[in-house]
């Protein structure tokens, strides 16, 4: 027998699946977690590369949240290293603080603005939009055309294969605009990296006598054979329904990892964005994130692409309408809970997935 009716099946060992698994296990349920990949932690998976540097296989992951409850939940499973992420954007061969702040304006335009001066500058150059519907609207409405073209337009085209006018406002609205000189990428109350890495944190989350983890196992093989008390599905929702309404678009990336021996530091901050040059969007140097000491360094370049593993839901109205059709079908699947970035087709950060998973468990246990 490959199944057990008293067991709950969890598809996916990323944040969504692992948080649900732990909460159910703590509540006395027996759970079986499967993942088709050979590792846990989903896209947050990190590992030592061949040179002993801790790297994130699926691109840079920086934890940040304002939700104390989520911070405390994860803090049961890891200690933290305080880390505030900083990013520079390269325009015409020069690096500027990004998100755009007062120092960006002063360096870019040879100005000496104070805070009120920066506010007046934005007020002068912005192109007011009403209503603000698209990512183009968001950026033009706040910083005007020149900054839009220098920092946003081409990055967005590269990242999504779409013009900012074709993406919902929420995509560009992730990036603040500042009149002060704060050059942190995030301003959340809690910003940190798991001290020993994400994978170790996931090992601790899943370390429970009621949890059984099976890797290299695809749901398609299990669903044919198994009967479970309940299934929690965290993969792409359209795949669950065998794409019966057509494929939901997800954006993919190719991660080009590189180790540079004898280079102690490759760049001055964790991530450098290249909005206008190269086929990749950004370069991340992991030692900034992890604080690891090593004679060499490891970096990753992200090359956006249409095909490949689904990493980003693409926030566009037409995609959301297609998602709604699958969501309507999922409401009829009474024995299945759909949760996570792929199953809910939402551009969630890690903390938001933890929040969604905790909410899903509460509903399930009720």
> CB-wise, 17 or 144, nearer to ligand FAD?
17
Q: Is residue 104 at the binding interface for ligand FAD, with CB under 6 A as the rule?
A: no
Tell me the window of 36-44, 147-155, 215-223, 261-269 that interacts with ligand UDP (CB under 6 A): 147-155
| Closer Cβ to ligand UDP, 21 or 350, answer by number | 350
Q: Which stretch binds ligand FAD (CB under 6 A): 68-76, 87-95, 108-116, 338-346?
A: 338-346
Residue 35 binds which entry of ligand UDP, ligand FAD, none, CB below 5-8 Å type-dependent:
ligand FAD
**Does residue 43 belong to the site contacting ligand FAD (CB under 6 A)?**
yes
Beta carbons of 61 and 41 less than 8 angstroms apart: no
* Rama region for 27: left / alpha / beta (φ>0; ψ in -120 to 50; rest): alpha
Chosen residue from 9, 15, 106, 168 binding ligand FAD by CB under 6 A: 15
Binding residue for ligand FAD, selected from 22, 29, 32, 61, defined by CB under 6 A: 61
CA 95 to centroid of chain Cα atoms: 24
Comparing CB distances to ligand FAD, the nearer of 106 and 344 is 344
Q: Considering only 8-16, 25-33, 98-106, 132-140, which stretch makes contact with ligand FAD by CB under 6 A?
A: 8-16
Helix ranges (H only) for 217-272 are 219-225, 237-240
The answer to the question of residue 330 lying near ligand FAD (CB under 6 A) is: no
Given 71, 190, 311, 345, the residue binding ligand FAD (CB under 6 A): 311
β-strand pairing of 63-65 with 190-194: antiparallel
As a whole number of angstroms, the distance between CA 89 and CA 51 comes to 28
Q: How far is the CB of 234 from ligand UDP (least distance, A)?
A: 18
How many Cβ atoms sit within 10 Å of the Cβ of residue 146?
Answer: 11
By the 8 A CB rule, do 345 and 245 touch? no
Residue nearest to ligand FAD (CB): 42
Q: Is position 169 an interface residue for ligand FAD (rule: CB under 6 A)?
A: no
Among 156, 191, 284, 337, binds ligand UDP (CB under 6 A): 156
- Shortest gap between Cβ of 357 and ligand FAD (angstroms)? 8
For residue 342, state whether it binds ligand FAD (rule: CB under 6 A).
Answer: yes
Asked if the bond preceding 99 is cis, omega within 30° of 0, the reply is yes
What stretches of the chain show up as alpha helix (H) in DSSP?
A: 15-26, 68-75, 102-109, 115-125, 135-147, 153-160, 169-172, 198-206, 219-225, 237-240, 286-290, 317-332, 350-365
Partners of 305 in beta bridges: 252
Residues 88-127 that bind ligand UDP (CB under 6 A): 89, 98
On the 0-12 / 13-18 / 19+ scale of CB atoms within 10 A, 35 is buried
Task: Report the greatest alpha carbon distance in the chain.
Answer: 73
Confirm or reject binding of residue 304 to ligand UDP (CB under 6 A): no
Q: Does 34 sit near ligand FAD (CB under 6 A)?
A: yes
**Burial class of residue 360 in the structure, from the number of CB atoms within 10 Å of its CB (0-12 exposed, 13-18 middle, 19+ buried):** buried
Beta bridge partners of 302: 255
Enumerate binding residues for ligand UDP (CB under 6 A).
89, 98, 151-152, 155-156, 159, 171-172, 174-175, 273, 275
């Amino acid at each position: 027998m490959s199944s057990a009716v008293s067991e709950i099946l969890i598809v996916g060992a990323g944040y969504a699946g692992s948080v649900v698994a732990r909460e159910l296990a703590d509540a006395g349920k027996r759970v079986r977690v499967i993942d088709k990949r050979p590792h846990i932690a989903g896209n947050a998976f990190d590992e030592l590369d061949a040179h002993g540097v801790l790297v994130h296989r699926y691109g840079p992951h920086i934890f940040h949240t304002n939700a104390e409850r989520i911070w405390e939940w994860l803090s049961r499973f890891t200690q933290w290293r305080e880390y505030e992420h900083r990013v520079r954007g390269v325009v015409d061969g020069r690096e500027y603080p990004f998100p755009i702040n007062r120092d960006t304006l002063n360096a870019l335009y040879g100005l000496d603005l104070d805070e009120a001066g920066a506010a007046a500058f934005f007020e002068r150059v912005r192109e007011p939009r009403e209503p603000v519907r698209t990512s183009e609207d968001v950026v033009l409405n706040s910083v005007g055309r020149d900054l839009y073209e220098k920092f946003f337009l081409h990055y967005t085209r590269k990242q999504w294969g779409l013009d900012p006018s074709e993406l919902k406002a929420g995509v560009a609205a992730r990036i603040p605009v500042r009149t002060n000189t704060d050059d942190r990428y995030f301003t959340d109350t809690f910003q940190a990296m798991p001290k020993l890495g994400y994978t170790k944190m996931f090992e601790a989350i899943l370390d429970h006598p009621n949890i059984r983890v099976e890797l290299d196992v695809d749901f398609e093989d299990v669903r044919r054979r198994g009967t479970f008390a309940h299934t929690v599905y965290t993969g792409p929702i359209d795949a669950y329904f065998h794409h019966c309404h057509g494929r939901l678009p997800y954006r993919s990336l190719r991660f080009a990892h590189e180790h540079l021996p004898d280079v102690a530091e490759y760049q001055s901050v964790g991530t450098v964005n290249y909005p206008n040059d190269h086929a990749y969007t950004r370069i991340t140097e992991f030692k900034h994130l992890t604080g690891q000491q090593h004679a060499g360094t490891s970096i990753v370049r992200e090359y956006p692409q249409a095909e490949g593993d689904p990493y980003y839901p693409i926030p566009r109205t037409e995609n959301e309408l297609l998602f709604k059709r699958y969501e309507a079908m999922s409401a009829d699947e009474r024995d299945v809970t759909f949760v996570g970035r792929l199953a809910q087709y939402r551009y969630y950060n890690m903390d938001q997935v933890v929040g969604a998973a905790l909410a899903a468990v509460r509903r399930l246990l009720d």
